[in-house]
Amino acid sequence: MSQLNPFYDVIVVGGGHAGSEAAGAAAQMGAKTLLITMNLEAIAKMSCNPAMGGVAKGQLVREIDALGGISGKVSDESGVQFRMLNMSKGPAMWSPRCQSDRMLYAQKMRERLEEKENLFLRQDNVVDLMYSDDGKTIEGVITQTGQKFKSKAVVLTTGTFGNGLIHIGETQFGGGRSGERASIGISATLEKLGFQVGRLKTGTPPRIDGRTVDYSKLEEQLGDEDPSGFSFMTDKLPTLEEQLSCWIGYTNEEVHDVLKTGFDRSPMFNGRIKSIGPRYCPSIEDKINRFADKDRHQLFLEPEGWNTYEMYLNGFSTSLPEEVQYKALRTIPGFEEVIMIRPGYAIEYDYFPPHQIRRSLETKIVDGLFFAGQINGTTGYEEAACQGLMAGINSALKVQGKDPLVLQRSEAYIGVLIDDLINKGTEEPYRMFTSRAEHRILLRQDNADLRLTELGYKIGLASEERFLKMKKKKEAVSDLDAFIKDYTVRPEQMDPMLESKDSSTMSQPMKAEKILLRPEISLHDMMEYDTEFSEKIDAITTNTKVLEQVEIQIKYAGYIEKEFEMVKELEKQENMTIPEQVEYTNIKSLSTEGTQKLSKIRPETIGQASRISGVSASDLSVLMVYLKN
């Protein structure tokens, strides 16, 4: 190859959240990596809301960080407000979220990527792929400028850019997001290679001038007093006083009436948009239409950063005509004088139904070609980033001649997401929820490092510093757990605290664990009333995250043990592999639907086959007998 176009191990196409993680991971693991993106100033740009994490999404970011990815650290470095969601529920539901400085996030991500000595950046537009004569092996990419870059693996992270089409009222134009052109050419090549292509839709709300809002009519939403970040390597976060506020407001019937005046020109309702959008993030016009009995809808006004007055109106996603958006905004209480900086819009884009990928995120049709992010039918920065991380890991492992890293459903939310995509497919943008993870008590945000950091270290992604920090925490958790189970507390110390909590008093000394098992009692309560107990705990650790984790482990020990037993049973099925060349049409006694679904998805294990909709228990029995014979 020429000096201009050297040979690469891995080429990543697209520099969004998936592409950034993919390129960072592959390079960190020693693969010579090229990241090609249309605009190097827009790396990891937050196209929609300026935030990371949230319910179940926060768990994904913590898992990315635990494995050695970048998003968690960058989120902590660019966060303007931090909150732990669902604290009124059990710890399996606790989810970290941060409001982000949009510009600072992109800047910090670029800085992190430029630290990778094996990573090379190029601003260009990939318009085609290079592949072997039989179309079964990837060989590189071709850019708009006619340059050819050869590689052993290619990771496609096209986001919303694949044949992207933007809608604002009756106006429509090509684009990957507002102000940036669409990516044309790759989809046609993939179709020619035999891939099935579909269309999905997403949208974004208008951005407004925060100086023109009357905040006295809104409810202030503060961050947490003791903020929790995403990275296990972060030591300091902004205090509550340093954090920026968000604000809560509401639409009303007058707002709805104004919005309805544009429904006849709405691409959602006049047939221009035929694609399906995210079920759990509907546009404001869709909410008014679907929930006609509701006289108001909640809105969140979110800052876009430390040094800008531009604000994001969460809950007001729309593709209505611009003048209707503006008029409706000015009827929201507190927004009577508001100035709109950017209108909301909807965007349609290409995706490739995910039954066409393996659990490694490598495609089944073309060897060495990986898909990650919205190209697989997901929505959300976090869902994209975790796929990018896994595609980057597995593309690097592939060029190194090693087996792929596949996370099981019992190991990580990332494993749940990929398993869901492949086995259940998606006809609407997929987002993660805690309810999707049947083992969520094991997959808590607090223990992501204990679950995954050793894995990340073994493959060369997580640093030695991170690994040693995790080991130290693991030892402290073990020591503190053993101490609490062995330490005896006395009635004269604990009874005053128990009475204050309306908890039954002690008739005799007992193990501290027994008291801590009471739902109304916390470890902090016990330490406050027993000085010796508190001092001995301080001698073991002063890390509040260790205290929190041990308390969770003790209080939920029964549930956790049951989950581990269930996982052991399921592992037997997960370890029973299915040869790739199996012809399901030759297996007699399989149901017609079972044959069709198994042939389409081609599961790698019996466990995976058991989660495919349409494959019955009877089909599984027939398949297992066939494999044994």
In the predicted structure, residue 293 carries a pLDDT above the cut 60: yes
Q: At what angle do helices 381-399 and 17-28 cross, to 10 degrees?
A: 30
pLDDT value of position 64: 99
With residues binned 3-state (H G I as helix, E B as strand, rest as coil), the percentages for the chain, rounded to 5, are: 40, 20, 40
In the predicted structure, residue 163 carries a pLDDT above the cut 80: yes
357 burial via Cβ count (<10 Å: 0-12, 13-18, 19+): buried
Residue 123 φ then ψ, to 5°: -90, 115
Cα angle 220, 221, 224; round to 5: 140
Pairing of the two strands 345-351 and 165-168:
antiparallel
369/136 Cα distance (integer angstroms):
10
Q: Where in the chain is the domain with CATH 1.10.150.570?
A: 576-628
Closest C-alpha among 24, 31, 30, 19 to residue 152: 31
In the predicted structure, residue 279 carries a pLDDT above the cut 90: no
Residue 279 φ then ψ, to 5°: -60, -40
Q: Write out pLDDT tens, residues 363-417.
A: 999 999 999 999 999 999 999 999 999 999 999 999 999 999 999 999 999 999 9
pLDDT value of position 570: 82
pLDDT value of position 67: 99
504/498 Cα distance (integer angstroms):
6
pLDDT value of position 6: 84
Closest C-alpha among 135, 130, 134 to residue 185: 130
Amino acid at 434: T
Q: Write out pLDDT tens, residues 403-416.
A: 999 999 999 999 99
Instruction: Write out the DSSP string of 410-454.
Output: TT-HHHHHHHHHHHH--SS-B---GGG-TTTTTS-GGGHHHHHHH
47/167 Cα distance (integer angstroms):
15
Q: Where in the chain is the domain with CATH 2.40.30.260?
A: 207-346
In the predicted structure, residue 271 carries a pLDDT above the cut 90: no
Count of CB atoms situated within 10 Å of the CB of 492 = 11
β-bridge partners, 605:
577
Q: Where in the chain is the domain with CATH 3.50.50.60?
A: 8-204+349-458
Q: Where are the beta strands (DSSP E) in 459-515?
A: 488-489, 510-511
Q: Which fold has domain 464-558?
A: Arc Repressor Mutant, subunit A (1.10.10)
Question: Is 98 in a helix, a strand, or coil?
Answer: strand
Q: Write out pLDDT tens, residues 481-534.
A: 999 999 999 999 999 999 999 999 999 999 999 999 999 999 999 999 999 999
Count of CB atoms situated within 10 Å of the CB of 169 = 21
Residue 219 in contact with residue 161, Cβ under 8 Å? no
pLDDT value of position 380: 96
CATH code for the part of the protein at 8-204+349-458: 3.50.50.60
Q: Write out pLDDT tens, residues 89-110.
A: 999 999 999 999 999 999 999 9
Q: What is the pTM of this model?
A: 0.95
400/169 Cα distance (integer angstroms):
50
Considering the segment(s) 576-628 as one domain, its CATH architecture is: Orthogonal Bundle (1.10)
29/117 Cα distance (integer angstroms):
11
pLDDT value of position 3: 56
CATH class of 207-346: mainly beta
pLDDT value of position 2: 53
Q: Write out pLDDT tens, residues 297-341.
A: 999 999 999 999 999 999 999 999 999 999 999 999 999 999 999
Q: Where in the chain is the domain with CATH 1.10.10.1800?
A: 464-558
545 burial via Cβ count (<10 Å: 0-12, 13-18, 19+): middle
Give percent of the chain above pLDDT 70.
100
In the predicted structure, residue 5 carries a pLDDT above the cut 80: no
State the Rg of the chain over Cα.
Answer: 26
Alpha-carbon distance values, 376 to 12, 158, 354, 412, 529 (Å)? 15, 10, 5, 19, 54
Mean pLDDT of the chain: 96
Q: How confident is the model at residue 614 (pLDDT cuts 50, 70, 90)?
A: confident
